[in-house]
């Protein structure tokens, strides 16, 4: 547990929890035939997180009343031996923390608690929490992070950072670990009508100058030029927010709300070193990758899928990679060492030709040894082997790297 968590990262986790909560309903529909603990539960664990729950204190009072009055029926107590964090709904964890601070701030009101309401309340009270409740602040940050990971597992969302095979090459880095790819944030690109499938761009509006701009991530600064009591034009600096389209852009009879269409910008992806915290852009990442491939430690066998992905990241087309890693020598024929006859490849174990024997004036079977004849470039053959137990194919990386350096990349001309 981090004893000094960053409030910005906790606020980011709470914002992501609010965004992920919108996808629970669709995931529950997809998991209509889910199996939880060997029993059929329509909606699966996504339905569990959609259902209203009580905070742990209220649940504990129910358990105590059940045991004190010996009420009929099974006890609502939770099995303490079962250590399954995934079984705890996200709303239950958030409600426990939100109820603590609602009573402390005298902000208790009659409302229907949801993941969105409780996460929003905690996010708006982070300044007060970090100032007045420093003792429990690390535990809150750890629980919020666990709720986010739990919801990402439910929705199978790709919001995690992927660890690449490229190592940090900065001289000041203490351990040179593998870089982590941080994907660009998602944003609403268009609004789609569920009936006629018409789309409308999700324009963003500045909260200061109220100007509209193209779709993109929220909370970005507005760069519109403004003039304030001077003749010098400066940037507005307001925050851009995505507006909601209220109706279908076409004359459509549908009264259903428009559905958001999400996307991201791959060119905004970044790579981060977990040790020195340095961020790499695309050019720095390619430079570090090329430097790693030229090291002496790269002289080893690598798995065939890893070799393909590495060549693809270097800009090689799929057809070129398949040609390099495919069989370079083709078995075209079998030649007999006795009669010099030629036969189709791999069709006969020995020469089946009939040869005239002058001594007996009869035809006899040749039976000579057949030697395979290959066609292709022997220099383009890549050394490799296959593990019989795991059936994994390994290739010698220096041979692959030699082909990459010796083959120029063709650029398409328009």
Per DSSP, the residues of 268-283 read G-EEE-TTT--EE-HH
In sequence order, what DSSP letters do the residues of 111-163 get, joined into one string? ----HHHHHHHHHHTHHHHHHH-TTTHHHHHHHHHHHHHHHHHHHT---SPEE
In this model, does residue 78 exceed pLDDT 70?
no
State both tokens at 262: 């999400």
How far is C-alpha 257 from the geometric centre of its chain's CA atoms? Answer: 29
Q: What is the dihedral of CA 29, 33, 36, 39, to 10 degrees?
A: 140
Q: How many CA atoms lie within 13 A of 26 on its CB side?
A: 9
By the 8 A CB rule, do 301 and 395 touch? yes
Instruction: Provide the pLDDT confidence category of residue 409 given band limits of 50, 70 and 90.
Output: low
Question: Scanning the structure block, which residue is given the tokens 């100058």?
Answer: 209
In this model, does residue 66 exceed pLDDT 50?
yes
Q: What are the residues whose beta carbons fall under 8 Å from the beta carbon of 10, sequence distance 6 or more?
A: 126, 140, 141, 144, 145
Which one of 13-17, 89-93, 231-235, 284-288 scores highest in mean pLDDT? 13-17
How many other CB atoms are there within 10 angstroms of residue 145's CB atom?
A: 17
Question: Scanning the structure block, which residue is given the tokens 């739990």?
Answer: 150
pLDDT of residue 194: 82
**Span 81-86, average pLDDT:** 43
How many other CB atoms are there within 10 angstroms of residue 128's CB atom?
A: 12
By the 8 A CB rule, do 346 and 288 touch? no
In this model, does residue 159 exceed pLDDT 60?
no
Specify the higher pLDDT residue, 44 or 101: 101
* Strand, coil or helix: 373: strand
**Span 317-331, average pLDDT:** 78
pLDDT in tens, 364-397: 888 888 888 887 666 667 778 887 777 788 888 7
Cα separation, 382 vs 99, whole angstroms: 64
Cα separation, 213 vs 241, whole angstroms: 10
State both tokens at 341: 């006859």
DSSP secondary structure letter of residue 347: S
How many other CB atoms are there within 10 angstroms of residue 376's CB atom?
A: 13
State both tokens at 285: 């990442």
Cα separation, 226 vs 207, whole angstroms: 14
Question: Scanning the structure block, which residue is given the tokens 């040749």?
Answer: 366
Specify the higher pLDDT residue, 59 or 214: 214
In this model, does residue 54 exceed pLDDT 70?
no
pLDDT of residue 122: 93
pLDDT in tens, 161-205: 577 778 888 889 988 888 888 777 778 888 888 888 888 888 888
Mean pLDDT of the chain: 78
**Span 50-74, average pLDDT:** 66
pLDDT of residue 374: 81
pLDDT of residue 85: 46
By the 8 A CB rule, do 239 and 230 touch? no
Specify the higher pLDDT residue, 324 or 201: 201
pLDDT of residue 126: 92
How far is C-alpha 161 from the geometric centre of its chain's CA atoms? Answer: 7
In this model, does residue 21 exceed pLDDT 80?
yes
Instruction: Provide the pLDDT confidence category of residue 74 given band limits of 50, 70 and 90.
Output: very low
For the ranges 43-52, 200-209, 339-348, the lowest mean pLDDT is seen at: 43-52
pLDDT of residue 226: 64
In this model, does residue 358 exceed pLDDT 60?
yes
How many other CB atoms are there within 10 angstroms of residue 323's CB atom?
A: 15
pLDDT of residue 119: 92
In this model, does residue 76 exceed pLDDT 50?
no
**Span 252-266, average pLDDT:** 81
- ∠ CA(104), CA(2), CA(6), 5° rounding? 65
How many other CB atoms are there within 10 angstroms of residue 289's CB atom?
A: 21
pLDDT of residue 216: 83
By the 8 A CB rule, do 61 and 67 touch? no
pLDDT of residue 241: 85
By the 8 A CB rule, do 252 and 242 touch? no
pLDDT of residue 34: 58
Cα separation, 347 vs 5, whole angstroms: 70
In this model, does residue 14 exceed pLDDT 70?
yes
pLDDT of residue 77: 47
Question: Would you put residue 106 in left (φ > 0), alpha (ψ -120 to 50) or beta?
Answer: left
pLDDT of residue 48: 73
**Span 84-103, average pLDDT:** 79
Instruction: Provide the pLDDT confidence category of residue 87 given band limits of 50, 70 and 90.
Output: low
pLDDT of residue 237: 76
In this model, does residue 75 exceed pLDDT 50?
no
pLDDT of residue 4: 77
pLDDT in tens, 107-148: 888 788 888 999 999 999 999 999 988 888 999 999 998 888
Query: 198: exposed, middle or buried (C-beta count within 10 Å: 0-12, 13-18, 19+)?
Result: middle
């Amino acid at each position: 547990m981090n004893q000094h968590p960053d409030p910005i990262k906790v606020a980011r986790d709470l914002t992501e929890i609010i965004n992920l909560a919108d996808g629970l309903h669709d995931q529950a529909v997809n998991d209509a035939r889910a199996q939880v603990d060997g029993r059929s539960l329509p909606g699966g664990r996504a339905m569990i997180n959609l259902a209203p729950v009580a905070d742990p204190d209220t649940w504990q009072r129910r358990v105590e009343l059940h045991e004190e009055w010996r009420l009929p029926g099974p006890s609502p107590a939770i099995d303490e031996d079962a250590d399954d964090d995934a079984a705890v709904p996200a709303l239950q964890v958030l409600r426990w923390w939100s109820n603590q601070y609602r009573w402390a701030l005298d902000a208790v009101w009659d409302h229907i608690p949801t993941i969105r309401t409780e996460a929003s309340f905690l996010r708006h009270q982070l300044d007060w929490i970090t100032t007045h409740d420093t003792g429990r602040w690390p535990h809150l940050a750890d629980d919020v992070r666990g709720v986010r990971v739990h919801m990402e597992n439910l929705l199978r969302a790709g919001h995690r950072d992927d660890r690449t095979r490229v190592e940090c090459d900065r001289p000041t880095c203490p351990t040179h670990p593998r870089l982590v790819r941080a994907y660009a944030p998602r944003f609403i690109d268009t609004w789609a009508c569920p009936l006629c499938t018409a789309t409308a761009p999700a324009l963003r509006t500045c909260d200061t100058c109220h100007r509209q701009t193209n779709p993109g991530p929220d909370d970005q600064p507005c760069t519109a030029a403004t003039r304030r009591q001077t003749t010098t034009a400066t940037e507005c600096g307001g925050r851009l927010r995505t507006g909601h389209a209220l109706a279908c852009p076409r004359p459509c009879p549908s009264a259903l709300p428009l559905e958001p269409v999400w996307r991201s910008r791959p060119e905004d992806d970044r790579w981060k070193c977990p040790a020195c915290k340095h961020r790499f852009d695309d050019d720095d990442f390619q430079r570090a990758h090329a430097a790693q491939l030229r090291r002496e430690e790269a002289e080893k066998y690598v798995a065939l899928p890893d070799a393909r992905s590495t060549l693809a990241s270097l800009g090689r087309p799929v057809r070129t990679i398949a040609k390099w890693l495919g069989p370079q020598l083709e078995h075209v024929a079998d030649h007999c060492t006795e009669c010099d006859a030629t036969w189709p490849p791999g069709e006969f174990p020995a020469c089946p030709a009939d040869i005239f024997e002058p001594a007996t004036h009869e035809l006899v079977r040749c039976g000579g040894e057949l030697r395979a004849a290959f066609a292709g470039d022997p220099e383009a053959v890549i050394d490799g082997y296959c593990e019989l137990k795991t059936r994994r194919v390994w290739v010698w990386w220096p041979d692959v790297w030699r082909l990459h350096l010796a083959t120029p990349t063709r650029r398409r001309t328009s």
